[in-house]
Structures are given as C-alpha cells and as structure tokens.
Structure 1
Amino acid sequence: MSQQTQWDSSLAFIFAMIGAAVGLGNIWRFSYVLYSNGGGSFFIPYFIAIAIMGVPFLILEYGVGFSFKESFSKILRRIKPQFEIIAWILILFVFVVTIYYMVILSWDLVYLLSSFTFNWGTDTAAYFTQSVGGSSNLSNAGFLIIPTTIGVILLWIALWFISHRDVDKGIGRVSKILIPALFVIMAIIIVYALTLPGAGKGIDALLTPDWSMLGNVNIWLAAFAQIIFSLSMGQAIALTYASYLPENSKLIDNVLIVVTSNSLFEICTAFGVFAILGYMSTTAGTPIVQLVTEGTGLVFVVFPMIFNIMGPVGRVLAPLLFLAILFAGITSALGFFEPMLNSTSAKFGWSRKKTATVLAILGCAFSIPLTCGISSYIVGVIDSFVNEFGILLLIGIQCIIFAWFYGVERFIPALNANSTFKVGKTWMFIIKYLLPAVLIIMWAIGIVQLFATAKPFEVMMDVIIIVAVMVTSIVLTKIRPAEDS
C-alpha cells in the first residue's frame, strides 16, 4: 500500500533530511572528536568514512524508502515476515532516543531563557547541576528539576503540533524555516568568533595534525562513529523520509547535498567553537586543553563561563547559540519521531493525527522521569547504551537484509534513473561486504568498552531498556496489520 502523504518538492525533503542530520552532535561533539583524535590529521579517516560509509549507506536508505514507499516495519515484513521484529526493535530504540533527546533540548531551552539575564552566575557548573541537569548522585533521583520538567512538556507539545500535520505542512514547512535560520545564526556566531583576540590560537590547537595517530585504530573507529551518529545513519529516518518523495526525484544527488551540508556545518562550527575557546584561553590565561570538553560540559558549563567575560557581546552571542542548538535539536527530534509515527500509523491503520497524539503523550510520560535530580547522568547512560549496543548493531543487520536477502542490485534502477551521479558494482561491494564487516567490528569493540566500565546501576538501566524494547517489539510484531484484520 503506497503512502498517501508526500513532500511537495525535493527541496522540502532536503531541508528535512539536513534537519535530521544536523543536530546536537554537530555543535558540541564534532569539535571535541576532531581535537582529541589527531587534529588536522583526523580529516583523512573522516572523509574516508564519509566515502565508504556515510554516502553509500544513505544511498541505500533512500533507495529502499523510495522503492517501497511504505513504513520500515512493512518493508521488512514484505522482505520476510520474520524480519518485522527487527524493524520494531530499531524503531523503538530510535523512539527511546527521541525520549531522552527531548530532555537535552529542555536543558537548552532553560539556558536560552537564562541567557537573557545570565542567571547561571559565575559558578556555571553548579548552576547546571542544581538547576538544570542534576548530578550522578543517585540519592537525588527522588525529585524533579522543575524548569527542565516544564521545558520537556512544552517541547513535546511543539513536537506534536508539528508532527500531527501532513509531512509537507508540518515537518517540511518547519524545516524550510528552521534550517536556513540555523545556518544564518551559526554563520553569525562563527564569523564573529573568528575576529576575537586569541581565535587563531584556538584554531591552531584544533587543526595541528598528529600524523602518528593515523596508525591508531581508535582514531578510525572515532571517524566512523562520528559519521554514523552525525548523519543519523540506519535509524529509519532517511528511509522513512525518502518514502514520501515524489517520482522523478534525484536520489543520489540529494544524498550528496545532505552529506555535504552536514559536513560543512560541523566543520565550520568546530572553527567557531575553538575560536571562542582560544579567546577564553587568551583572556583568562587558561590552557585550551583544560577548556576542551564535549557535550553538556562544553555547551552548558564552558560556554556560559566564556559569555560571562565577553561583556555586551556575550549578551548577544549567548541567546544566538542556545537558539541555534534549539533549532538543530527540534529538526533532529522530528526525524527521530517520524519512523515510530509512520510505522505505528501503518500498523494500526490510525490517522497521522491520532498516532502523533498517542505517541507524544507516551513519549512525554517517559521523558518526565528523566528530568529528575540525576537527569544528565541517566540520559548519558541511556544514550551510550542505545547507540553503542542497539542502533550500531541494527545498522549492520540492515545492510545484510537489504544486500543479501532482498538484493541490493534491485535498487539500482530507481537510484540511477534521474540522478546525475550513478552507482554500480563498487557501491554494491561496499554495501554487501565492507560495511557489514566494519559495523560489526565497531559494535563488538563498543560493547566490550561499554560493559567493561559499566556500574551496577548502569547495567540495570541497560537491562530494563533491552527487556522493554524486546517485549514491545514482540507484541507489535504479533499484532496483525490493519489491512489484514
């Protein structure tokens, strides 16, 4: 059964895909990964990872979604009924990502509001711990951090409001507004950052190559991991969005536009981040190595500290930065939410509005407990497990299913039909042999590292997630699709 909903143009699809790809990881993760994995020399494994993983797998996802024009769960069920459970496991893992991602966005919303008054004070680490993200002290789990809780509720309402509409009127229209706005805001921040005293010091620290690190396998794994998570590969987002494409779409061209936009955004953002860190190092006399961190530490602790010493300019840059993160986060959250929305609607025969309403209520109900006094700790635990254990393994399994059980060559006519660039034997070799091998090796190494350092509470959380996902997947697989009833 074909999808009745459709993008009004490839432009809406491209903006939506860029929105799904460009997220928090581009802003607060890439610069750290680049700096800590050989600086300028990291670009070699980074671009190789794009060439042999990012572009080929996205082409596969576009081809699958465009060819079948059905939900992910229905696609795997059509290939082989026993595969449907694999689809639901992946979709549920991605829905879990949506649940904790909304909590991170809520932290940013709190900081966006705080940026107008700088009420994070001088001890920015204490502000984050006490008023926004909590700590790792398990005794604090019994209470909610109210500003974060309110933010989560508001953001889920916003997500529902956008997602319950047809994709073109909801996600498409919002992406056309937020993505250009995001790029303009980040351009302003980056250009100004490059004019700051000490900016050159930061850029030098970022780009100084350490060629000896190219022999370290962990650097290559870091590059492949960055591409997977930066492009939201294999999470059924690209596949679902591609299923809404009109005929005559230039699939391979669209992949190249999205990948190029994503990489340019994160590379330019890294320049801006390190220009600002160089300014802080020059002004405060703090070595850059002491300032460099990733994720919440960079955005919610180090940057407010820098804005504090910037004077009037900090009052302008702070709201712009947190607004940019909010825009990037919302468009990514829409992408994470869509596979669950699409597959659930198809499974039960519900309208898009009803499905979005039910899932938003469920998602919000699960997000709220994550705004407790150990919010940042518990989000970090879930994020590591879901990505390292669940999604990485399932990307490899998808490669095997589409390449070996269905036949990757069957997608080539649709991919090449209208595209300027073509795929052939090299692409098939990568999908059938190279990618599954790389992904399974990465998964095995990641699992060893994950559980070698896990604490009892973290293992308990991991077990709860896997049991919940497996049980729910079995139940959803057992339910007969709406058209079979």
Structure 2
Amino acid sequence: MTKTKKQEWNSNLAFMMAMIGSAVGLGNIWRFPNVLYSNGGGSFMIPYIVSLFLLGISFVLVEYAVGFKFKRSIARILFSIHQKLEPIAWFILLIVFLITTYYVCVVGWDLIYIVLSITKAWGSNPDLYFANNVLHATDSLSGLFSIVPNVLVSVFLIWLFACLILRRDLNDGIGRVSQILLPLLCLIVLGIVIFSLTLPGASIGYMQIFTPDWSALGDLNVWLAAFGQIVFSLSLGMAIAMTYASYLPEGSKLVDNALVVAFSNSGFEVFNSIGIFSILGFMAVTSGIPFNELVSEGTGLAFVVFPQVFNTMGSAGSIVAPLFFLCILFAGITSVIALLEGVCYSISEKFLIERKKTATVVCIIGFLISVIFTTNAGSTILGIFDAFLNNFALVFAVFLECIIFGWIYKFDDLIAILNDNSSIQVGKTWKIVIKYILPICILGLWIQGAYTTITTADTISLSIMGLLTVILIVVPLIFAKMTARNKDYYKV
C-alpha cells in the first residue's frame, strides 16, 4: 500500500484565506450581536478584547505551533506525544464531526431561504412560516419518522458540495473555494452595512455598540460570555488550525499569521454587528417594537426577525434579503469544509485511504446522520445536540488540549518553533497563560456550560445527552484500538 500524498499550501494567501474562512461562520453573523447586546453593549468589548488576546490568540498559537512542528493529523500528533492520548484525538474529532452534521442542516435551511427571499414567500408571519412551512416542527419524538423533503434536499446539496470540495487537492479544493467565497462574503457584508447605515433609525441600533454599561464589567458571567464567544468564533479546540498549519511550508510566519486571522475574524464580527444593529434599529422605528425585543441569536434572528425586517423594507428588501442569506451560506460552507478536513486527514493518514475515498465516506456517513435533523423533530434534536456538544463536550476538549500541550508535552519546544518561524516573538508570559490562566478560564466556562445544560434539560434531552456521552467514549476508543495501515503512524 502506498503512502497518501502529503498536502501543502501553495501560498500563504491560500492558508490565510482558508483559516479566516474557517473562523468566519454562523457564530459571527448571528451569535455575536446577541452576546454583545446582552452583556453590556459597548463595555463588553473590554472583556472581549482581553479574551481575544488571553484565550483566542494564545490557543491559536498552540495549535499553529503543534501542527507546524509535527506536520501530522491530530490523531497521530497525540499518539506521538503519548500513545494513551490517541483516544482523546478521536474524541475531539468525533465532537467536531457531530457538530458538522447539524451545522450542515442550518446551512441547508439558509439555502432554502435564499430561494424564499426572492419573493419574500414567508409572508406576514415569518415565525409561523419557519416553524410550520419550512421545518414542519414538532416537539414529539414521533416526528423522527417523518422527513421534511425540502430540508432533506437542501441538506443533501450542502453535503454534496462539501464532498466535491474535499475530494479535490488541498489547493484546488479548500484553497480555491476559500479565496473565492471569502472575498465575496466580505463584499456583500460591506454593501449591507453601508446600506443599513442609511436607514431611518439606524443610529438607535448601532449606538448600542458604542453605549457601554460599565456595571457589567463586574459580572463574572459577562467575562465567561466573552471567553465563550472567542472559543466558538475562532473554532478553538476543533483541530482546524492544527490541521491547516500542518500543511504550511517551511519559512511560514506563524505568530504573524495567527494575529492576522484573529484580528480579521473579530473585525468581521464587530463590523457585521454594526449592520445587524442598524437594521434592527430601523425595524424598531418602523414597527414600534422595542429594540430589546428584536435582538435574538441563532435561527430566531436569521429566519424570523430578519424576514420581518425585510418585509418593512419594500422593494429594497427583495435585494438585501438574498444578499443576507448568501452571506450565511458562504460563511457556512467555508466553516463546514474546515470542520471536516481534520476528520478526513486523521482517517486518511492512519488507514492510508486516499483523500477522495475518505472524503466520500465521511460525507456519506455525515449525511446519513444529518437526516435525523431533516425530520419533523429535527429542530428539537438539533437544539439538544448543540447544547450538549458546544457547551459541554467541546469546551471540555479545549480544556484537555490545554493540559496536554501545556503540561504533558515539552512546552518550551513550542516556544522555539514559534520564535524560529515568526517576526513576533513569544516567551514566558505566553507560557504562563497556557499553563495556568487558560485552563482555569476554560474550566470555569465548562462548569458554567455543564451546569446550564444539565439543569435546563428535560428527561428526553438528558436521555439523548446520555447516549451521546456513550458514543463519545466508545467510538474514540474503537478508532484508537484499530491497527493503523500506515506503519509510519507508530513512529514517535
């Protein structure tokens, strides 16, 4: 059996576009505005910036250094550090894969709304239309036996597109798509923000960003919210940065790249929020609905509140609406392919399966799981998966990575790697952050997330979470125990 061909970025631009594309996702567009507004408005920017440097950039540097040094998949990297750590790698990858299975479904909903937005087919009551006409939602588990055809087709198309990208060479697939979709996304957002600032009442919205509630800075939950936003926004702990950095050629500037990616991601979500808030300010003026009742996150903002806004815009809404949903589509696709790349790379490297076959099998299995979320009960199951995997499992995975690379691995080697491949140097301060400060912050975030998830869950939710827990323990152990066909896999 021949070895799989080692992939490598053909330019730093391709890497940067792919990294920024992986970071800029649904969380930037619909999560950040709500987190910003709910945690002190303008004053939230202080814990947000602190979190960006303390948590975001610091952890991204760890992933860059590890990926660049080993130039292997996360599964093989953890095996190289200690063979008993390999199950943790598959644990992380399984979390990422399961998150992708429902993330694709949300992107699929957006694909439907691109079509609906042309004629504003959601009518005068977007809330009921989304629940009854798009999702055909029910809280009963009996809904699992009824497929929603339009959602199934849209989810299939997203998986198919992701598969076609992943099957191609690194630069022809992920590299090229990122270099096309990311600039288009930024241009559309720029256009929407400029337009939104001309709307009556825009200042009511965007002033929320520049009106601080200084008392919020004394609330621990606000700081935890800032840490959480950075974790989700930069996709920390998902092995994306580690995987992409492993494809970097020698001579790459690691710290420099990390700073550009982190600042670009944060700049995008803050700039996008100006547009989001301006449009909501317009809605508050034209409808008489208080601003605080309009601000929400997730599907409520994208598929309910904004269709209401587009209804009040007249003919302009027929132009802005498709552009808005295109933004979500482009951001979603670049994130989906980034999430899947680490999974495909680890499987391909261990079992010596060529890239095309690995991508095809992973996407087929992913689609079959996603079918669950295309049923009448799909949105309910999706909410349970999201609460457990994001608030509990993923944050715990980030904590484990902090312990492994901060305490088990020779951390000074990572400092040397970064300083030898960067114009900006790191030192003892970064080491203290990774070994002490970061684990404490992540542990606090995990405790809060775990407590909220468990205490707010009903019996059905707890049962599904229990099943997911078993899967997250058993499947990684199976993958770790399976014999690698790649004999170099066991070379430390």
Q: 2:423 aligned to 403, 420, 425, which one?
A: 420
Deviation at 1:470, TM superposition (A): 1.7
Check conservation: 1:35, 1:207, Cα contact below 8 A: no
Match of 1:328 in 2: 331
Match of 1:217 in 2: 220
Q: 1:56 aligned to 30, 49, 58, which one?
A: 58
Amino acid at match of 1:183: C
Alignment partner of 2:410: what SS?
Answer: helix
Deviation at 1:136, TM superposition (A): 4.9
Shift >4 Å, 4+ stretches: none
Check conservation: 2:4, 2:349, Cα contact below 8 A: no
Deviation at 1:146, TM superposition (A): 1.2
Deviation at 1:416, TM superposition (A): 1.4
Amino acid at match of 1:104: V
Check conservation: 2:144, 2:375, Cα contact below 8 A: yes
Q: 2:42 aligned to 40, 43, 62, which one?
A: 40
Check conservation: 2:4, 2:353, Cα contact below 8 A: no
Alignment partner of 1:252: what SS?
Answer: helix
Q: 1:370 aligned to 363, 368, 373, which one?
A: 373
Q: 1:122 aligned to 121, 124, 127, which one?
A: 124
CA distance in 1, matches of 2:423, 2:135: 47
Matching of residue 22 in structure 1 with residue 21 in structure 2: no
CA distance in 2, matches of 1:274, 1:22: 18
Match of 1:396 in 2: 399
Match of 2:134 in 1: 132
Give 1:435-474 correspondences, 5 Å limit: 435-474=438-477
Match of 2:252 in 1: 249
Check conservation: 2:72, 2:246, Cα contact below 8 A: yes
Match of 1:9 in 2: 11
CA deviation digits over 1:214-249, x for unaligned, max 9? Answer: 111000000000000000011101000100001100
Deviation at 1:350, TM superposition (A): 0.2
Check conservation: 1:198, 1:275, Cα contact below 8 A: yes
Amino acid at match of 2:34: Y
Deviation at 1:134, TM superposition (A): 4.2
Check conservation: 1:193, 1:199, Cα contact below 8 A: yes
CA distance in 1, matches of 2:402, 2:119: 50
Alignment partner of 2:153: what SS?
Answer: helix
* TM-score with structure 2 setting the length: 0.97
CA distance in 2, matches of 1:100, 1:342: 21
CA deviation digits over 1:153-196, x for unaligned, max 9? Answer: 11100000000111111000100000010000000001100110
* TM-score with structure 1 setting the length: 0.98
Give 1:101-180 correspondences, 5 Å limit: 101-138=103-140, 139-180=142-183
Match of 1:348 in 2: 351
Match of 1:383 in 2: 386
Deviation at 1:135, TM superposition (A): 3.3
Q: Larger deviation: 133-142 or 331-340?
A: 133-142
CA distance in 1, matches of 2:177, 2:288: 43
Amino acid at match of 2:282: Y
CA deviation digits over 1:68-120, x for unaligned, max 9? Answer: 00010000001000000000000000000110110000000000111111111
Check conservation: 1:396, 1:436, Cα contact below 8 A: yes
Deviation at 1:3, TM superposition (A): 6.7
Matching of residue 65 in structure 1 with residue 70 in structure 2: no
Matching of residue 316 in structure 1 with residue 319 in structure 2: yes
Deviation at 1:132, TM superposition (A): 2.3
CA distance in 2, matches of 1:265, 1:53: 18
Q: 1:79 aligned to 54, 78, 81, which one?
A: 81
Alignment partner of 1:94: what SS?
Answer: helix
Amino acid at match of 2:439: P
Alignment partner of 1:116: what SS?
Answer: helix
Deviation at 1:126, TM superposition (A): 1.0
Check conservation: 1:416, 1:423, Cα contact below 8 A: yes
CA distance in 1, matches of 2:482, 2:278: 54
CA distance in 1, matches of 2:4, 2:317: 51
Deviation at 1:2, TM superposition (A): 9.7
Deviation at 1:406, TM superposition (A): 1.1
CA distance in 2, matches of 1:381, 1:290: 24
CA distance in 2, matches of 1:121, 1:32: 25
Matching of residue 272 in structure 1 with residue 278 in structure 2: no
Alignment partner of 2:145: what SS?
Answer: coil
Instruction: Give unpaired runs (5+ residues) of structure 2.
Output: none
CA distance in 2, matches of 1:259, 1:177: 20
CA distance in 1, matches of 2:131, 2:223: 34
Check conservation: 2:101, 2:369, Cα contact below 8 A: yes
Number of residue pairs aligned between Structure 1 and Structure 2: 485
Q: Larger deviation: 292-301 or 463-472?
A: 463-472
Alignment partner of 2:120: what SS?
Answer: coil
- Identity among equivalent pairs (%): 46
Alignment partner of 1:115: what SS?
Answer: helix
Amino acid at match of 2:68: F
Matching of residue 197 in structure 1 with residue 185 in structure 2: no
CA distance in 2, matches of 1:123, 1:93: 36
